Copies of this chain bind each other. A is one copy, B any other.
């Protein structure tokens, strides 16, 4: 059981989690329970209620929290900050009310990531109904937007593929003007698809299997393109293909950056080391070593590997994260740490 002595309670943040019955919500809860400056005061889900330890026996002896049906008033009374682990399109009906009541909100859905509501509408097949907060939402990728997050009351937590893609490409995209084409070959573990019961996510369908899906048509493409364009200072497009790995956690993006001028492996390695010099969660692999999913599983790290073709014109960047941690819940906690001025790694190492 969590130590709740006085010393802690003084500086404790009261945390609420909406959508705790999904994989992302559960991961936020698990991290929050270990966080020294957090007290989880409210958890809710629409399709499951009852003691958390009954819903998820992994929490036996760890918490006496009871999952409730979402109640706006209770949420506002009990929480300082709320993590929204809701399905896409549901966040935007809740977030405005919480923000209006003065709470801080960290939204793990896709609702506030795309700045252009028309692009959102195209990819998520739903009209955006909260343009005001869409405009103000800060994109919660600390390595690129830490200063904005510091003062934020509302954070749009990045998608899992975009986190791995943008961190893997940022050093090149923000410094090279000779990028000819970008291919992102992305592979994700199954938890990224959520906990809804569908035939194609059954064990016997995924196990010993591998396939591409949403080829050149994944809804994370515009999110990636929006932020790469910002970094590049010009419209930037990617060829993005997603694949489903027979593992529970982890993403590996293999990214092919075609340069017209070329760069040596030593140069690109130095560029990445420098770009992420102070970052606690981005680790550039030594030369000739490649990152592996298992090294970042259950952590908030993003590991990056680099290779260059003999003619120096093709850079292959591989980036790995745990899709539920750095790709979702861990990054959300990292954002909370920044907002509240805690050590950025608090509860995450």
Interface string of A183-220 (1 = CB under 8 A from B): 10101011100010111011111111111110111000
Query: Which of these, B212, B290, B307, contacts A211 with CB under 8 Å?
Result: B290
Q: Does any Cβ of B come within 8 Å of A62's Cβ? A: yes
Interface residues on A, range: 35 or more
Contacting pair B309 A209 (CB below 8 A): no
- Quick check: is A239 within 8 A (CB to CB) of the other chain? yes
What mask results when residues 169 to 186 of chain A are scored 1 for a CB within 8 Å of chain B, else 0? Answer: 000000000000101010
> Taking the nearest CB of chain B, how far is it from the CB of A81, in angstroms?
23
Contact between chains at B246 and A216 (CB < 8 Å)? no
Closest Cβ of chain B to A65, distance in Å, is: 16
Q: With an 8 A cutoff between CB atoms, is A258 at the interface?
A: yes
Are B252 and A183 in contact, CB atoms less than 8 angstroms apart?
no
Apart from A210-B292, A216-B309, what 12 extra A-B contacts exist at CB < 8 Å?
Answer: A57-B295, A58-B295, A190-B207, A195-B202, A201-B202, A202-B203, A204-B248, A211-B320, A213-B290, A215-B307, A215-B316, A241-B307
Q: Which 7 residue pairs spanning A and B have beta carbons closest together?
A: A203-B206, A58-B295, A185-B185, A215-B307, A209-B294, A211-B292, A197-B197
